């Protein structure tokens, strides 16, 4: 099973893109934390010096920052020097998204030739942001998250979409239920009708359980209610804003005048029960939905996922089988079936399910990871090694990459050295 040419090129011939560069990050980053960004810079040959007298060649500001002056403190000599160096053209100024594009993390004119490297599946994105994978699927289904490409029903999200997902994850971790997040997004869309995707606008920031619009020095809720900004952003890694809202409130369940079909109402009911943790009621809603909508692979998949979360592995297994029977190319259903079989101890069947998924989508990194785990448990070490290496070649920055590297460590070969053919 040969690896994609793009994977081999990335790991063996591409020189470090930041070789010789010394970078400093200013302001809050959108796509990742400061620690993650510094690690990424070092991975690509750059240096993030700690000494204030270092010669800086690149200054990177967050996409939410209006300009360089907004993140510099004039009373600091180091910052004064940076401003002078940028003004004189001796130091280059980049926005965060420009750096990610330079490093190949977001699409450019060659994006179609990049295969599925640097992309996140729903499971990877959920692991990265510590949210349920059901939440990622829900946001994708609603169009809040937009996949850069799909393979056999499996969506892939590029690095730029991670910034949007982080906003959503921040609201979720602050205690907003998925239904409340839906309401806030509906209100945001109504307040910014000129924007196709308001959550992508740099003026939209998340503070606690609130979505806030920043217009110059003013802060407001999406509905227009002005807020008081007591603390301006600082140069710290994760600046915070303490906000006071004079009027609290949530929009209604539905937009005014919105008329839903019976099937749409059943879908909303299933999601509502799921959001409230009433999984058995959500299961019944999905069963009713199947009677109303007829056999649909994606509904069987959603039902199987709920049954799996409830611990009913036998029922989940059967529903995943039905989803595959309705659509044999449904690779995410094949992958989930493999995970259920592996958890049930049926490792040989799990391997068959994973290999079936790879027969339709050979670059499905998640499946290579789970297949390697199953083969490890079966003591088929050489076959497992191939899939660990293939996984790392396809998804070197996956949240699971460190685990794969740990599994390869005893073998004594470079982690990035991927075999050309199946062992």
70-83: per-residue pLDDT in tens?
A: 777 655 667 778 88
Pair (55, 127) in one structural domain? no
204 pLDDT tier (thresholds 50, 70, 90): confident
- Whether residue 163 sits in one domain with residue 133: yes
Supply the mean pLDDT for the chain.
77
Q: Are residues 131 and 32 in the same domain?
A: no
Rounded Cα gap, residues 60 and 71, in angstroms: 11
Domain boundary among 245, 278, 301: 245
The domain boundary residue, chosen from 102, 134, 162 = 102
CA distances to 21, 81, 85 from 88, in Å = 18, 10, 5
CATH code for position 29? 3.40.50.10190
Does residue 110 lie in a domain region?
no
What pLDDT, on the 0 to 100 scale, is given for residue 360?
A: 93
278-288: average pLDDT: 92
Count of CB atoms situated within 10 Å of the CB of 10: 19
Q: Domain of 36?
A: 18-102
What secondary structure does DSSP assign to 36-93, as a single string?
HHHHHHHHTT-B----TTS---EEEE-TT-S-GGGG--TT-HHHHHHHHHHHTTSSEE
Centroid of chain to Cα 233? 25
Domain count, the chain: 3
74-117: pLDDT as tens digits: 556 677 788 888 888 888 988 876 787 677 665 444 444 444 55
Question: What is the per-residue pLDDT for 100?
Answer: 72
**What CATH number is given to the structural domain containing 358?**
1.25.40.10
pTM of this prediction? Answer: 0.61
CB 166 within 8 A of CB 30: yes
Is 265 within 8 Å of 235 (Cβ atoms)? no
Task: Tell whether 158 and 228 lie within a shared domain.
Answer: yes
Which of these three, 186, 216, 245, is where a domain ends?
245
Residue 390 vs residue 16, higher pLDDT: 390
């Amino acid at each position: 099973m040969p690896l994609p040419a793009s994977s081999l090129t990335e790991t063996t011939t591409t020189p470090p893109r930041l070789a010789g560069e010394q970078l400093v990050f200013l302001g809050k980053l959108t796509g990742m934390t400061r620690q993650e960004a510094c690690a990424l810079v070092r991975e690509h040959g750059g240096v993030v010096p700690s000494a204030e007298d270092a010669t800086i060649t690149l200054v990177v500001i967050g996409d939410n920052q209006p300009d360089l002056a907004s993140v510099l403190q004039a009373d600091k000599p180091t910052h004064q020097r940076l401003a002078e160096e940028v003004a004189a053209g001796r130091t280059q100024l980049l926005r965060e998204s420009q750096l990610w594009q330079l490093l190949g993390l977001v699409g450019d004119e060659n994006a179609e030739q990049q295969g599925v490297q640097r992309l996140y599946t729903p499971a990877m994105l959920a692991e990265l942001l510590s949210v349920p994978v059901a939440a990622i699927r829900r946001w994708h289904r609603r169009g809040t998250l937009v996949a850069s490409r799909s393979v056999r029903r499996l969506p892939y999200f590029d690095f730029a979409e991670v910034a949007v997902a982080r906003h959503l994850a921040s609201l979720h971790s602050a205690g907003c239920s998925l239904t409340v997040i839906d309401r806030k997004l509906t209100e945001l869309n109504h307040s910014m009708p000129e924007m196709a995707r308001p959550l992508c606008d740099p003026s939209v920031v998340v503070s606690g359980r609130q979505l806030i619009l920043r217009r110059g020095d003013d802060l407001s809720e999406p509905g227009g209610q002005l807020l008081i900004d007591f603390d301006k952003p600082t140069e710290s890694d994760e600046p915070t804003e303490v906000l006071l809202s004079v009027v609290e409130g949530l929009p209604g369940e539905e937009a005014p005048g919105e008329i839903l079909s019976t099937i749409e109402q059943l879908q909303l009911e299933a999601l509502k029960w799921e959001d409230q943790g009433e999984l058995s009621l959500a299961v019944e809603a999905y069963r009713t939905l199947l009677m109303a909508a007829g056999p649909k692979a994606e509904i069987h998949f959603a039902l199987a996922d709920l049954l799996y979360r409830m611990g009913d592995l036998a029922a989940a297994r059967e529903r995943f089988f039905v989803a595959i029977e309705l659509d044999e190319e449904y690779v995410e259903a094949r992958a989930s079936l493999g995970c259920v079989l592996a958890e049930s101890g049926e490792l040989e069947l799990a391997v068959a399910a994973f290999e079936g998924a790879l027969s339709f989508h050979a670059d499905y990194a998640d499946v290579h990871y789970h297949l390697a785990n199953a083969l490890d448990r079966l003591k088929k070490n050489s076959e497992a090694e191939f899939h660990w290496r293939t996984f790392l070649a396809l998804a070197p920055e996956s949240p699971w990459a460190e685990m794969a590297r740990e599994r390869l460590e005893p073998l004594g070969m470079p982690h990035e050295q991927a075999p050309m053919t199946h062992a």
